[in-house]
Structure 1
Amino acid sequence: MTVAHQPTAADEVVRICQELIRIDTSNPGDNSGPGERVAAEYVAAQLAEVGLEPQLFESHPKRTSLVVRIEGEDPGRDALLLHGHLDVVPARQEDWTRDPFGGEIADGCVWGRGAVDMKDMDAMMLAVVRQRMREGRRPPRDVVLAFLADEEAGGEWGAQWLVREHPELFEGCTEAVGEVGGFSLTVPGDRRMYLIETAEKGIAWMNLTARGTAGHGSMVHPDNAVTALAGAVARLGEHDFPIRMTKTVRAFLERACLAYGVEFDPDDPEKCLVEMGPLARMIGATLRNTLNPTRLDAGYKTNVIPQSATAQVDGRYLPGYEAEFFATVDELLGPDVQRDFIYNDVALETDYEGALVAAMEAALLAEDPGALPVPYCLSGGTDAKHFAKLGMRCFGFAPLRLPPELDFSGMFHGIDERVPVDGLRFGAKVLDDFLGRS
């Protein structure tokens, strides 16, 4: 009698990633998209097939998240949360080389919106849990899996809603692992640094409003809302925030300089960024607070001076520098422009130490003996911000071994988003090993 081959996580992860990409979960940020319901039902079916009983939570029509708890060998231990989001930013097919919702394999990669943000990690989580359940391998402690709605718009209908309305789902979870960490950066000697996220910048999306007196465009008019707003926006956009090295960023740069054979100079910490290629954009943004104007709106007719003018800006501040950031913003705005928040959330930072970090490092080294794990700060934000409010230490660890020529940071929200097939299989093996050590 022959025994049927049971697929491993590495066998399944590519298929699952393709199938998730083919489910359009575009999130324009206003509940007008398709939502995550179909994707959540797909995930639920994949988990139910191996004996789990996931729960679906609909915070708004079609805005659906899924949570399931897997009992560990020692349920008395603190639990671990693994979380991923199901939504993606929109994509226009005419901009892409391949169908952004086709999940096509070409040039050794799976192509499509969400391939790196973050249906790759969703697929790894599903594939690893399916293999472990089929083989009867329980994790050392309870693991809570969460597949979430709305991360791309701040998590109001996903993680934020669940933390507020159903905190009992995460009872006992003291640590959380999510996206944008564990990916590789090739350094001299054909070795790879693997960037593990231990910090992320705070988010301040702001509306700016200037008010003046409406009037005829042909007349002398010193009280012009457009002029006041334009001046403030220019001051914000041109401001050069000073370098502020957090403990995470300093630790990353010290190890990166060592790997590149560049002396670390605390007075010129940007020196080794030139060695990092496109990733320097993301790392450079973690050396200082940043603020970028993104939208302008005023008036309705060329010869009518409007009563008000508005703009929107995307601000990001480092852990420990929130007060300094907003003081600078207010000084640059001046008295004639008011600000209010579109969205504001905290900066995070945790120490790069402890058993969970050791488990990440050991799992990476088991698959890539030349691995150089390092902590780093994410310039963007993730659902970790919401789980941190429940007291969890939060990390980004979605392991991927990447070819040196791939502009990985450019894949996030970019066109022709894609993830290497070999990277997905590598990540599934590492994540399985990590869960066994966690």
Structure 2
Amino acid sequence: MAEGTTGPDVVELCAALLRFDTTNTGDPETSAGERDAAEYVATVLSAAGIEAKLLESAHRRANVLARIPGRDPSLPALLVQGHLDVVPADAADWSVPPFAGEIRDGFLWGRGAVDMKDFCAMVLAAVAAGLRPRRDLVLAFVADEEDRGIFGAHWLATEHRAEFDGCAAAISESGGYTYHVPAADGRTVRLYPVGTAERGTAHLRLTARGRAGHGSRRNDENAVVRLVAALNRIATHRWPVHLTPTVEAFLVRTGKALGVPIDLSDVDGSLARLGPAASLAENTVRNSTTPTMLEAGYKVNVIPSVARAQVDTRVLPGTEDALFAELDRLLGPGVDREFVAHQHPVQAPVDSPWFTAMEQALVAEDPQAVVVPYCLGGGTDAKAFTPLGIDCYGFAPLWLPEGFPYRAMAHGVDERVPLDGLRFGTRVLRHFLTHC
């Protein structure tokens, strides 16, 4: 296909992907698997003359890899990666069937519309239209991001490491979308946050041990009491502000765009002056430890000897040692911790040619765009690819109308994406992938 030839329509591609039920329950026995969607992706790539590999890590847990040669083979390659699985959706809660891929009121509805089959469709639309990139592109459409990535990105990075040889940077979900924010002078500023960092994920299991006994008798070694006291100390602890390069740059550049003063010695006050834009940074100026699960006892009149809890811990780049040292102090005697899952924080350079190229691609389609870096509070498959020496960015461009609750769409009810947003994102990606 010659460069510039009209390729498949991004809306049709996205609708087709949404119609594949790729629900990931977190249980391999009940998850739908990504095989059918992966075969569709491979078919689209093949029709565009792009050779695709379909790699299955387990039954129906399929991944697609492809490499598009660039015009300058001396340049390092770019990884473009997105996941095909989605979280569960209860059809009873939705206005439309969640796997119908229905168009209504200028939006495409369905589970995965913003997380993240929209990006997968935009990538397919961009490369299938005869794209001739400046550098090699490695495409990865992966399984299992919505759980632990063991059937997808982490498996690929371990078992198929050579597929990513030469990749210096990557783009994927959670960045490059429109964020409308009122400025101090009454203007509305269109921010486009690009992810340049992610907090690490440490899911912890706490175990308190004590002496079993009768519930009616005094027991100073009650495991439940020890656990509850430790959880209270964790939940009420005010973790100190820690400004990473990404968050500092976000605060300074966003404050300048909005015309509000930023004082890095008073981060909470500065956030308050950013208005709605504060939500992009307020969860990433500190670490967090959030108790989420409790387990203890088997009868109301029996004091158990063991009580357990799980804590969702999110940790900023450069703070892991200090966080866990303080956490151990807060736990106190009689309470131990272990990792249920542990993925380190990731951070890519803010001021880099990659970021500049993303900014230029966005401004080419929206001349009023203000592109700023930001740190993701959660995590993505960047945690699998960063250890390979790849700088990972959240860049899945999407135009969004003012007032659209985009950040509530991921994993939410009635997930949907604007049709104009898909077309905008495809143009931005085509520009970026051609020139970066």
Scaled by the length of structure 1, the TM-score of the pair is 0.93
Report the equivalent of 2:19: 22
C-alpha contact (below 8 Å) 2:260/2:273 kept by paired residues: no
**Structure 2: gaps spanning 5 or more residues:** none
* 8 Å Cα contact 1:279/1:407 also seen in 2: no
Q: 1:90 pairs with 76, 88, 91, which one?
A: 88
Tell me if 1:152 matches 2:146: yes
1:91 positional shift:
1.9
Report SS of the residue matched to 2:388: coil
Q: Does 1:123 align with 2:117?
A: no
- CA apart distance, 1:60: 1.6
Shift of 1:274: 4.3
Deviations 1:51-73 (A, max 9, x none): 22211111121211111111111
Counterpart position of 1:101: 99
The equivalent position to 2:132 in structure 1, one of 132, 138, 160, is: 138
| Equivalent in the alignment of 2:291 | 293
1:200-220 superposed Cα distances (whole Å, 9 cap, x missing partner): 111101111112222332333
* 1: CA distance, partners of 2:412 / 2:330: 31
Moved more, 360-369 or 89-98: 89-98
The answer on 1:437 being equivalent to 2:435 is yes
8 A Cα contact 1:282 1:409, kept in partner: no
- Indicate which of 158, 161, 176 corresponds to 1:164: 158
Q: Counterparts of 1:13-412 in structure 2 under 5 Å?
A: 13-31=10-28, 32-132=30-130, 137-187=131-181, 188=183, 189-274=187-272, 280-412=278-410
- Secondary structure of the 1:375 match is strand
User: What does the per-residue CA deviation read over 1:130-173, in whole Å, with 9 as the maximum and x for residues that have no partner?
Assistant: 112xxxx4211110000011111121111111111111101111
Does the 8 Å contact 2:78/2:138 carry over to 1? yes
Counterpart residue identity of residue 171, structure 2: V
**SS of the residue aligned with 1:140?**
coil
CA distance, structure 1, for counterparts of residue 215 and residue 432 of structure 2: 66
Residues 204, 341 of structure 2: 8 Å contact kept: yes
Q: Greater shift after overlay, 163-172 or 303-312? A: 303-312
Q: State the distance in 2 between where 1:434 and 1:80 align.
A: 11
Runs of 4+ in 1 over 6 A off after TM superposition: none
Aligned-partner residue type, residue 292 of structure 1: T
Verify the 8 A CA contact 1:291 1:313 in the aligned structure 2: yes
Is the Cα contact below 8 Å between 2:397 and 2:428 reproduced in 1? yes
1:215–1:306 Cα contact (<8 Å) kept: yes
Offset of residue 281 of structure 1: 3.6
- CA distance in structure 2 between the aligned counterparts of 1:153 and 1:139, rounded to whole angstroms: 32
Which letter does structure 1 place at the counterpart of 2:246? T
Identity of aligned residues (%): 51
| Partner-residue secondary structure (3-state), 2:267 | coil
Contact 2:189 2:258 in 1 (8 A): no
Give 1:275 deviation, angstroms.
6.0
> Is the CA contact (8 Å cut-off) linking 1:25 and 1:35 kept in structure 2?
yes
State how far apart, in whole Å, the 2-side matches of 1:329 and 1:107 are.
49
- Structure 2 equivalent of residue 420 of structure 1: 418
| Distance of 1:326 and 1:179 partners within structure 2 | 29
Letter aligned with residue 323 of structure 1: D
Q: Aligned equivalents of 1:288 and 1:193: distance in 2? A: 23
Structure 2 distance, partners of 1:289, 1:404, is: 31
1:267, CA displacement in angstroms?
2.2
CA distance in 1, matches of 2:195, 2:358: 11
Q: Is the 8 A contact 1:181 1:397 kept in 2?
A: yes
Q: Equivalents in 2 of 1:74, 1:6: separation in Å?
A: 22
Larger deviation, residues 98-107 vs 140-149: 98-107
Task: Give the 3 Å change call, closer, same or farther, for CA 328–407 of structure 1 in structure 2.
Answer: farther
Structure 2 vs 1, CA of residues 231 and 278 (structure 1 numbering), >3 Å: closer, same or farther? farther
1:65–1:147 contact (8 Å) kept in structure 2: yes
CA separation in 2, counterparts of 1:61 and 1:329? 40
SS of aligned partner of 1:186:
strand
Q: 3-state DSSP class of the match of 1:153?
A: coil
CA distance in 2 between partners of 1:289 and 1:54 (Å)? 40
Contact 1:278–1:410 (8 Å) recurs in 2: no
The change in CA–CA distance for 1:296 and 1:250 in structure 2 (over 3 A counts) is same
> CA-to-partner distance for each residue in 1:176-213, whole Å, 9 max, x for gaps?
11111111211333431111111111110111111222
Does structure 1 conserve the Cα–Cα contact (< 8 Å) formed by 2:196 and 2:350?
Answer: yes
Contact 2:292 2:309 in 1 (8 A): yes
Give the number of equivalent residue pairs.
428
Q: 2: CA distance between counterparts of 1:53 and 1:305? A: 63
Return the alpha-carbon distance in structure 2 between the equivalents of residues 356 and 216 of structure 1: 64
State the superposition RMSD in angstroms: 1.8
Partners in 1 of 2:410 and 2:335 — Cα distance?
33
Q: Offset of 1:382 from its aligned partner?
A: 0.9
Moved more, 281-290 or 392-401: 281-290
The amino acid that maps onto 2:158 is R
Whole-angstrom distance in 2 between the partners of 1:339 and 1:257: 40
Q: Specify whether residues 277 and 93 from structure 1 end up closer, same or farther in structure 2 by C-alpha distance, changes over 3 A only.
A: farther
Aligned AA (1:322): E
Q: 1:386 to 1:406 in 2, by over 3 A?
A: same
The answer for unaligned runs of 5 or more in structure 1 is none
